[in-house]
Amino acid sequence: MSGVSLRNVRKSYGNHEVIHGIDLEIDPGDFIVFVGPSGCGKSTLLRMIAGLEGITDGTISIEGNVVNDVPSPQRGISMVFQSYALYPHMTVQQNMAFGLKLRRTPIERIKETVGAAAKSLQLDSYIDRFPKALSGGQRQRVAIGRAIVREPKVFLFDEPLSNLDAALRNQTRIEIARLHRSMDATMIYVTHDQIEALTLATKIAVLKDGVLQQFATPDEIYNRPANVFVAGFMGAPPMNLIDGTIEETADGELHIRLARKELGDVLIPLKNVPEHRKRLGQPVVFGLRPEAISLAAESSDASLSKIECKIDYVEVTGADRITVCDFSEGRMFARLPAGADVSEGDQVTFHFNADNISLFDKDTGLRIESAQNA
Amino acid sequence: MLASAHPWLKRDWPLLVCLSIPAILAVGLLLYMAGWVLVMSFTDLSLFGRKATEWSFIGLENYERLFTRRGFLESLWVTVIFTFFSSIIGQNILGFVLAGTLRNQPGLLRSSIESAVILGWVLPDVVAAFLWSATFTPNGLVDLAILQPLSIETRNLINDHPLLIVILANIWKGTAWSYILYSAALDSVPREVSEAAKVDGATPMQRMFFITLPMIKSHIATNCLFITIGSFVYFPLIFALTGGGPGTKTQVLSIFVYNESFSVGKLGYGSAISVAMLIIVAIMSIFYVRLLREPK
């Protein structure tokens, strides 16, 4: 039995369809992150699971029960909102107890549950304060506490960290991860921040324009993106995507010839497999993670592929140096170690292992399976 | 005050004085008027006759009359009924209900009801009074369209239920204010808070009583402050519709002041009634302003 199951879920506003038939099977206890650019429908999908938006078509089930027409409170869910959505006229204690009171939980039990939740969230010394007397991080913890005390089967988080500053965001992220480990509940989390997605999720659902692009583990999403969109969206800086053509050498070996003349005449060896052979002469998109690139040295392994480029910009992030090569359209990023001796205007040779690349069909944008690192 | 003023004000005395003139004028005028009324309330000044020129101070006699003569207490009671039912119950609740139900309605329905409500508000009182009068008098709209076709005996509704009609007219006339204020207030309640309550299991009624109303408490107090004071001293619509009658059935305090001062001509007594009204309004204001205070 799955924790949450979405089958062909659709949502339209009038004639305008925003969610185009999404299928997802979420196992109990999983931490699922919906990620995608603004307007991709991730929040709408979450609100549909919460029961705050109707479903135009399809079914949503929670623990095997279809909940399409079940009102929010009876779905066994709790939700943490982006704006915290605390009740401003109630104290921390009252905020957390509100849902329990409505369910006519005995007072003693409410006190116990709220007390325990407050303690675990280090809110016990603020229990009688009003939300306006709390910091952003504390408010967020109250919102999480309010969700915990109802002991839901499914936790829903709608961009809960986006109103916090960077340091607090990292800290709260760790707390949420810990919360997931300590509770046996399914969590669904919406974010546009891929770091949150990659660090928190057991599985990530990448959405674009109301269509599910890929649903897989963070590792798989990162290393084997299902299409050009996922490749370009996940990762910062994103995967470099460069057009090329599959060609055959005189001795029958396959390689990709890159279309970017700025990079020199680059030939990347390809495995001689039918999947590649049948695309001979066809345009493909070659994908390379910036961190798979390193600066070529005299002693470099001759088996590594090489590309040349002129560095237009160097971004120092502390731990790394990210170099940017601008093309007439698009750009190429390389993530080099902090000590790398590069500066703007340098003409450099990069190398990378051709076994570590992704390959996509130019027309459909889909990953060509059995590509190098498959 | 100067110590806490903006630095460039401290350096520029003439500018400070110039800028203060409107404030000084406003406060001065108010004190002058109030002082004048207060002084007059201790005299037997008349509008006409001998006492118009040879008036004298008579101590607290006018104030004693408020409680010993017929008139003031009856008018106060009529005013309280009028204010309570037309503003607190009528305008306030109707305005809130309209704001609450219309905010999620599609454009046409909303804008037509909105226009109707606001039209009542912008219509001059005298015109409104004429319309209400034309609706409820014998051979008026109600009579011609409802009573006569049903062969019910023609009656003068304004004569039979004057206070009710005046209250209804004031509700119709003043609801727009509450509607507009509550529309803005409801917009200030974030959607997510209301949704959080929904997920928490609150029914629409529980959301209204436990979440929305407490969150707009200060708006409610502001609205009640405005509409109770507005209705408490309201004059033109009632005067044009009933003139305070029949008898004294709709003689609210403002009409009583007018009658005593300008029909009977006892300016001193009228001033005392005005002072009493001022005190009542001040007490109501203090009550509401206390409600407006945020909890610590």
Our CA-based measurement puts residue B204 at a distance from the nearest CA of chain A, in whole angstroms, of 12
Q: In this structure, which amino acid lies at residue A368? A: I
Rounded to a whole number of angstroms, the distance from the CA of B214 to the nearest CA of chain A is 7
Does the CA dihedral B79-B85-B89-B91 come out positive or negative?
A: negative
Is B201 near chain A, with CB under 8 Å? yes
Distance of alpha carbon A34 from alpha carbon A196, whole angstroms? 10
Determine contact, residues A314/A344, Cβ cutoff 8 Å: yes
* Domain ranges within chain B, ordered by starting residue: 64-292
The contacts of residue A169 (CB under 8 Å, 6+ apart) are A161
What pLDDT score was predicted for residue A373? 52
Rg (alpha carbons) of chain A, rounded to whole number: 25
Distance CA A332, CA A264 (A): 14
Contact predicate B273/B66, CB 8 Å = yes
Q: How do A240-248 and A154-158 pair as beta strands?
A: unpaired
State the pLDDT at residue A300.
65
Q: Give dist(CA A87, CA A159) in Å, integer.
A: 19
Specify which residues A12 forms β-bridges with: A17
The sign of the CA dihedral B149, B150, B153, B157 is: negative
| Token couple for A53 | 């938006």
**B106: confidence class by pLDDT, cuts 50, 70, 90:** confident
Which two three-digit tokens encode residue A350? 């990069």
Residue B29 has what pLDDT? Answer: 95
Q: Can you give the pLDDT at residue A249?
A: 82
**How would residue B213 be classed by pLDDT, with cut points 50, 70 and 90?**
very high
Q: How confident is the model at residue B8 (pLDDT cuts 50, 70, 90)?
A: low
Q: Looking at CA atoms only, how far is residue B195 from chain A in angstroms?
A: 7
pLDDT at A372 over 60: no
Q: Which pLDDT does position B292 carry in this prediction?
A: 77
DSSP string, A86-124: --TTS-HHHHHHHHHHHTT--HHHHHHHHHHHHHHTT-G
Span A5-26, mean pLDDT?
A: 91
**A240-361 falls under which CATH superfamily?**
Nucleic acid-binding proteins (2.40.50.140)
Q: Which of these, A66, A172, A197, lies nearest to A122 by C-alpha position?
A: A172
- The Cα of A284 is separated from the nearest Cα of chain B by a number of Å equal to 45
Residues A270, A271, A272, A274, CA torsion sign: negative
Residue A171, pLDDT above cutoff 70: yes
pLDDT in tens, B60-73: 888 888 888 888 88
Instruction: Say what the pLDDT of residue A45 is.
Output: 93
What mean pLDDT is reported for chain A?
Answer: 87
* CA distance linking residue B245 with residue B164, whole number of Å: 12
Side by side, the strands of the sheet bearing A240-248 are A267-270, A254-258, A240-248, A283-288, A358-361
Q: If you write DSSP's letter for every residue of B76-113 in order, what string do you get?
A: HHHHHHHHIIIIIIIIIHHHHHHHHHHTTS-HHHHHHH
A127 within 8 A of A91, measured Cβ to Cβ: yes
Helix (H, G, I), strand (E, B) or coil at A238: coil
CATH number for the domain whose boundaries are B64-292: 1.10.3720.10
B188 touches chain A (CB under 8 A): no
Secondary structure element (H or E) that encloses residue A157, with its range: strand A154-158
Q: Which residue has the tokens 């053509």?
A: A245
pLDDT in tens, A257-301: 887 777 777 788 888 788 888 888 888 998 999 998 888 876 667
What does pTM read for this prediction?
0.80
First to last CA, chain B: 27
B218 — contact with chain A (CB < 8 Å)? no
User: Is domain A4-233 given the CATH code 3.40.190.10 in the classification?
Assistant: no
Residue B168 structure tokens: 């209804």
Can you tell me the ipTM of this complex? 0.82
Average pLDDT over residues A136-151: 90
Which of these ranges, A310-314, B119-123, B155-159, B168-172, has the smallest mean pLDDT?
A: B155-159
Distance CA B109, CA B115 (A): 10
Model pLDDT for residues A90-117, shown as the tens digit of each residue: 999 999 999 999 988 899 999 999 999 8
pLDDT reported for residue A374: 45
| Domain extent listing, chain A | 4-233, 240-361
The shortest C-alpha distance from A160 to chain B (Å) reads 12
Q: How many helices (H) and strands (E) does chain B have?
A: 17, 0
In this prediction, residues B231-245 reach a mean pLDDT of 88
pLDDT for residue A166: 84
The pLDDT assigned to B35 comes to: 92
Among A81, A98, A102, beta carbon nearest to B192: A81
Question: What does the pLDDT read at residue A370?
Answer: 61
Q: What is the DSSP string of B222-291?
A: HHHHHHHHHHHT--HHHHHHTTT-STTTT--HHHHHHIIIIII-BHHHHHHHHHHHHHHHHHHHHHHHHH
Q: Encode pLDDT of B137-193 as tens digits.
A: 877 787 777 777 787 777 777 888 889 989 999 999 889 999 999 999 999 999 999
Q: Inter-chain contact A52–B198, Cβ cutoff 8 Å?
A: yes
Q: Three-state DSSP class for A171?
A: helix
Which residue from A minimizes the CA distance to B196?
Answer: A85
Q: Which of B178, B137, B173 is nearest to B155 (CA)?
A: B137
What are the two backbone dihedrals, phi and then psi, of residue A59, each rounded to the nearest 5 degrees?
-135, 145
The predicted structure's pLDDT at residue B92: 93
Q: Does B51 touch chain A (CB under 8 A)?
A: no
More confident residue, B113 or B12: B113
Identify residues of A whose CB sits under 8 angstroms from chain B CBs.
50-52, 72-73, 77-79, 81-83, 85-89, 98-99, 102-103, 130, 146, 150
Q: Is the dihedral of CA B151, B153, B157, B160 positive or negative?
A: negative
Interface test with A, best of B189, B193, B200, B213 (most A CBs within 10 A): B200
Interface with chain B: mutation pick from A47, A79, A104, A139, highest number of B CBs within 10 Å:
A79
Beta carbons of B197 and A87 less than 8 Å apart: yes
**Quick one: pLDDT at residue B4?**
66
More confident of the two residues B295 and A43: A43
pLDDT attached to residue B138: 78
> Sign of torsion, CA B72 B78 B84 B90?
negative
Whether B229 and B282 have beta carbons less than 8 Å apart is answered as no
